[in-house]
Chain A
């Protein structure tokens, strides 16, 4: 949901408001894809480390306690997941024409209601299929992701990907690992089928 909200705003800004900076911003959004997923996640360990800039700034602002930390918390895991899968949403702007569109004016002056209506039915609605498609596309890798929870989270907070990985590699409980993988696969296929039923297959890929 965080990805969807940030991605929507990002795609909107790039597609309709960036003007001549559009291509540069698109490259900046998509550039992280050119580096390893593992490296990108590891870089968050540096950013959120206990002696890093972010934690010390938050501590100085008394948002975090003096012994407060971000690394090894669920906040770090969610931040990592959002960061890693955000480009999927930003890429929704790729399919847009890229013109600096304005909602149509009605008469000389337009009311706030009309402006909001025009915005919702115009630019924002134009991005909806792209964002929905990207959301459906990124849900699948995110569901089985275990790297973020392993590198940024605490040992107690596991995602299903971590459980499957540990059952396969450490515990040797192949039966549970296989069953869990199959259940996850069935759940994802179910979600894809719901998406197909609602939106068709044309925009799935």
Chain B
């Protein structure tokens, strides 16, 4: 007869490889991308980058690259060329 509580953590051990995989290849890259998107505007390769929570990056990204971002008009463009 199995002792009570012996297999209590089995499910967590079985989940561990999936959780580690998720952390390595999703959570960490996601965090890295999120912090990169909040870098300050004065950063450069030489001076380095700092997370300054500069949410204006999102506005400028949409403003500067909206044509590429919303390129459902891909087909419209194709007709033009």
Q: Which residue of A lies closest to B57 (CB)?
A: A179
Known contacts A174-B49, A182-B37, A184-B69, A78 near B61 by CB under 8 Å: no
Residues of A within 8 A of B54 (CB): 175
Q: Kindly state whether residue B6 has any CB partner on chain A within 8 Å.
A: no
Q: Which residues 2-23 in B have Cβ within 8 Å of A in the complex?
A: none
Report the nearest B residue to A2, measured CB to CB: B75
Indicate if the CB atoms of B36 and A160 lie closer than 8 Å.
no
Contact with B along A131-164 (1 / 0, CB 8 A): 0000000000000000000000000011110110
Identify which of B37, B43, B62 gathers the most chain A CB atoms within 10 Å of its CB: B37
Q: Contact at A179–B37, with CB atoms within 8 Å?
A: yes
State whether the Cβ of A28 lies closer than 8 Å to any Cβ in chain B: no
Q: Interface size (B, Cβ < 8 Å)? A: 29
C-alpha spacing A181/B68, complex, angstroms? 12
A158 and B33: CB pair below 8 A?
Answer: no
Q: Assess the A78–B68 pair: CB atoms within 8 A.
A: no
**Given A73-B81, A160-B65, A163-B68, A178 contacting B37 (CB threshold 8 A):** yes
Is A75 touching B81 in the complex (CB atoms < 8 A)?
yes
Q: Are B58 and A179 in contact (CB under 8 A)?
A: yes
CA distance A1 to B45 in the complex (A): 41
A172-B44, A174-B39 given; A163·B65 CB < 8 A: yes
CB-defined contacts of A177 to chain B, threshold 8 Å: 36
Closest Cβ–Cβ distance, residue B70 to chain A (whole Å): 9
Can you report 12 residue pairs joining A to B where beta carbons are below 8 Å apart? Answer: A73-B81, A74-B77, A158-B68, A159-B71, A172-B44, A176-B57, A176-B60, A176-B65, A177-B36, A179-B61, A180-B61, A185-B33
Give me the 6 closest cross-chain CB pairs, A-B, nearest first: A178-B36, A178-B37, A74-B78, A179-B57, A179-B61, A175-B39
User: Which residues of A come within 8 Å of B, CB atoms?
Assistant: 1, 73-75, 77-78, 157-160, 162-163, 172, 174-185, 187
Extra contacts, 10 of them, besides A175-B54, A176-B65, A178-B33 (Cβ < 8 A), are: A77-B78, A160-B68, A163-B68, A174-B39, A175-B39, A178-B57, A179-B37, A179-B60, A180-B65, A187-B69
